Amino acid sequence: MENKAKILVVDDEVPVCRSISSALEPEGYLVDQALSGEEALQKEGENRYDVIIADLMMPGMSGMDLLRAVKEKRSDIVVIMITGYPSMKTAVQAVKLGAFDYLPKPFAPSELRNLISRALERKRIYEEKAPVEEKAMAKTPLPEGLYCIPGHSWAKLEDDGNVRVGIHELYLRTVKNFSSIKFPDENEKVSQGETCLWVVDTAGNLHRLWSPVSGRVISINEEVEEDYSRVMEDPYGSGWLLLIKPLRFEEELENLLPFDKE
């Protein structure tokens, strides 16, 4: 099983580590465990893991410190943060620092597996395709004024004060066999860093998409609802998904990255 992905699970609680391991091992992944950031860093030095799943809150070296250290050594490593204290600000900041994604506790094995699958897809994209090609894939010129949760979603402040929200092209590419989108209801409240909609693949797996802003959903792009291919064709333009009335956009902008600096 040469192709077997190597995954390191980092959590200061043994049961959590074991549970995650037992959820992933049947899927054919090679799962290692570490009970602290320091141990994880050491193990990562010995084995080049494909994915690291790390708890944010740990005594000693925190998940965030681990992320920084690991990313410094290997930019291509995929790090997923899990947290029992889902401070969205911390989680989004982690993504901004280079984490692939995060998962709030408690979660079902399916959620984790979906995420791992997307993470590995991302890894594959890193390895198999050059960044140049990546850029070329952008079918539309880079739009102005877009702010992102890197690899997830984008937000753009419109003239009327509302924010247009869309999906990041990279995210779509990590979801194998994108099928449809499960939209929220109009008027529903969303928060930055929390699920604003679900991306559904052909196998029926649900993938969370984190909202880049907090606010209330004013409207949904009905054109996309009718034809999901629009999202693939023009993710930063006509393929927008939600129109949100933001609550504190200025403040939340700090947690986002301008599109071109990603």
Partner 1 sequence: MQRFSLRTKLLLSFSTVIVVSALLSLIIGTYLVKTIIAQAQGKVKLDLNSAREVYQEESGNIKDVVRLTAVRFFIKDAVLKGHGEKLKGELQNIRDQEHLDVLTLVNRQSRVILRAHNPEVFGDQLNDDVVSHVLSRQKVVVSTQIVSKDDLERESRDLLERSRIDLIPTLQERPRTETEETSGMMIKAAAPVLDYDGELIGVLLGGRLLNRNYEIVDNVKDIVYRGEKYKGKDIGTVTIFQGDLRISTNVLRLDGDRAIGTRVSQEVYDQVIGKGVPWIGRAFVVNDWYITAYEPIKNISGNIIGMLYVGILEAPYVDLKNRAVLTFLGVAILSVTLLAIVALFTTENITRPLKELLFATQKVAQGNLSHRLRVKSGDEIGQLVGSFNQMTGELQKATEKYQVLTRTLEDKVAEKTEELRKAQDQLIQTAKLTSLGKLAAGIAHEVNNPLTSILINSHLVAEKLSEDDHFQENMRLIIDETTRCGAIVKGLLDFSRQTPPEKNISDLNEVVENTLQMLKSQILVHEIQVKKDLDRELPEIMIDVNQIKQVFTNMILNALDATPKGGWLTVRSQMASDKQFVEITFQDTGHGIEKGNIGKIFDPFYTTKGMAGSGLGLSVSYGIMRQHGGTIDVQSEPGKGTTMTIQLPVTEYQEDEAV
Nearer to partner 1 by Cβ, of 16 and 52: the residue is 16
Tell me the closest approach of the beta carbon of residue 107 to partner 1, in angstroms: 7
Handedness of CA 196, 125, 101, 18 (dihedral sign): positive
Distance CA 185, CA 156 (A): 20
Nearer to partner 1 by Cβ, of 115 and 167: the residue is 115
Tell me the closest approach of the beta carbon of residue 103 to partner 1, in angstroms: 10
Tell me the closest approach of the beta carbon of residue 188 to partner 1, in angstroms: 9
Nearer to partner 1 by Cβ, of 15 and 141: the residue is 15
Nearer to partner 1 by Cβ, of 141 and 161: the residue is 161
Tell me the closest approach of the beta carbon of residue 56 to partner 1, in angstroms: 10
Q: Which candidate, 120, 161, 149, 177, places its Cα nearest to that of 5?
A: 120
Nearer to partner 1 by Cβ, of 23 and 99: the residue is 23
The answer to whether residues 207 and 175 touch, using CB atoms and an 8 Å cutoff, is yes
Tell me the closest approach of the beta carbon of residue 115 to partner 1, in angstroms: 13
Rounded (5°) CA angle 236-170-27: 145
Distance CA 114, CA 120 (A): 10
| Site for partner 1, rule CB under 8 A | 11, 13, 15-16, 18-20, 22-23, 26, 57, 82, 84-86, 105-110, 112, 161, 187, 189, 191, 214-216, 245, 247-248
The tokens for 71 are 């990313």
Q: What are phi and psi of 89, to 5 degrees?
A: -60, -45
Tell me the closest approach of the beta carbon of residue 13 to partner 1, in angstroms: 5
Distance CA 142, CA 97 (A): 22
Nearer to partner 1 by Cβ, of 105 and 139: the residue is 105
Q: What is the b/e burial string over 114-152, where b = at least 16 CB atoms within 10 angstroms of the residue's CB?
A: bbbbbbbbbbebeeeeeeeeeeeeeeeeeeeebbbbbbb
